[in-house]
Amino acid sequence: MTNANPFAQRSTLEYELPPFAQITEEHYLPAFYEGCAEQLAEVQAILDTPGAATFENTIVALEKSGQYLGRMLRVFYNKSSSDTNDALDAIDQEIAPKLAAHQDAIALNPVLFKRIKDLYDARESLGLNSEDAWLLERYYKDLIHKGAHLTESQ
């Protein structure tokens, strides 16, 4: 993706508001695919981290992943829910199943689940503050609800 795409970098506007005047329908799909690829690479880097999982190298890293994709999705879903058209509807039809598959690829990754479960099981000894403890619990419970703990046959 080129730097001409407004999603290619964080906005410099106040509060990092998106540069709506620069965003056109042609920017969404390239940003979506690039954002998905970038987040999968970020998650893979978490999985490739040597040694035991820590709050920092797993939960914090996971929290920071997907910022590019998040920028695009926040703008896209705001625009498509408030001022849609046929082109935005077509983009939504294309990305909806791919976004679900992307999210499942992360949430149902057994290696990632093991890292988070190991942290969750050891949470009492990690010395986490209340916010960090809540975040760890939220990740663990979200993955359980998504079925990350189930076997392939289940």
* Successive 10-residue mean pLDDT values, the chain, 154 residues: 78 92 94 96 97 97 96 95 94 97 97 97 97 98 96 85
Evaluated on CA atoms 54, 60, 61, 65, the torsion sign reads positive
- Is 52 within 8 Å of 132 (Cβ atoms)? no
Can you give the residue ranges of every domain in the chain?
20-146
The span from the first CA to the last CA of the chain, in angstroms, equals 39
> Which CATH number is associated with domain 20-146?
1.20.1050.40
Backbone phi, then psi, for 51, in 5-degree steps? 85, -175
Q: Burial, 10: exposed, middle or buried (Cβ in 10 Å; 0-12, 13-18, 19+)?
A: exposed
CA distance 149 to 134: 20
Joined together, the tokens standing for residue 16 give: 């990092």
Secondary element (H or E) of residue 145 = helix 130-146
DSSP classification of residue 58: I
Q: What is the pTM of this model?
A: 0.91
Backbone phi, then psi, for 37, in 5-degree steps? -60, -40
Neighbours of 130 (CB within 10 A): 7
